[in-house]
Amino acid sequence: MKDEPEVKVGVDLAGLKLATPILVASGTYGWGTEFGEIEGFSGAAIGAMVLKGTTLEPRQGNRTPRIVETAGGAGILNAIGLQNPGVEYVINHYLPRLKDAKAKVIANVAGATVEEYGKVTERLAGHERIDAVEVNVSCPNVKRGGMHFGADAKVCAKVVRRCRKGTTKPLIVKLSPNVTDVRAIARAAVEAGADILTVANTVLGTAIDIHTRKPILGSVSGGLSGPAIKPIALQKVLEVADLVRDEGLDTPIIASGGIMTAEDALEFMIAGARAFAIGTVLFADFNAPERIMEEMKKLLVELELADVNEIVGTLERE
């Protein structure tokens, strides 16, 4: 029997070297240990885990209901509200449990003010187990009437600059798709010190109960994820990749949004992403990383590619 050709799947994101291009997205993988309690789970294909969003002080999160599955199973609306025990608890209780983790560990920071972002970044990035920091700029800015930090290029830049001051480790900025021009926000983030861009966060949405005529989610609106948003996320990745290319930048892109299969992932990589994050699929298939990795290797062999990096940014427009 002929052996399958060896396919290289390692990627380098601005010095953050991953064994595979697969990340598990923040908020879908807990604090990095919960999935290990599931019988039959294997995390061997995970290149990096992004921990749950962390703030300076504990947050209780939004009132329930917090999650709604959309019609046809095409996605999930979530409005968790960044429930977390606060940065000190995370450092003292969760990070020590990851000392033997093989995947890279990425902290996800959030805040209500620019200074809070900076302080959380400093505390988490200072821990030896944290390999990189992802900044969630989709949080409401309490000093600007609740407008998200990632909705305005200048405000986004302030957050990134403050976080950049707090660490020399790779800094990832997770962009929101709920903006008119994602390229303007991406440019501002890179100019302010972002090493890597995650494109993109969830799409704003809501759901209504026709019998009560009330919103189903306790907070009215939430973030839509899953296959329903894949075309939107793919378009955003393409726009940011065009910006990176046209302006001569070398900023890696992590794609995020509706990836369920290896074909989905390769679409994003062809558009210009060097890695990709999966999230909602984990609720339906906890071993999705292994399945997607196996599928991807087979597809790369079919495409006569020996290295996953060879497919990045190869979109033919004509």
Q: Which residues are catalytic?
A: 139
To the nearest 10°, report the CA torsion of 32, 36, 38, 44: 100
Residue type, 120: V
Q: How far apart are CA 165 and CA 168, in angstroms?
A: 8
Q: Contact, 281 vs 264, CB < 8 A? A: no
Alpha-carbon span 129 to 72, nearest angstrom: 40
Pick the closest to residue 290 from 101, 46, 51, 11 (CA basis): 46
| Pairing assessment for the beta strands 132-136 and 104-109 based on DSSP bridges | parallel
Three-class DSSP category at 261: coil
Round to whole Å and give the CA distance between 259 and 268: 9
Q: Virtual CA dihedral for 47, 52, 55, 57, nearest 10 degrees?
A: -130
Q: Write b or e for each residue in 148-181: b if 16 or more Cβ atoms lie within 10 A of its Cβ, otherwise e.
A: bbbbbbebbbbbbbbbbebbebbbbbbbbbbbee
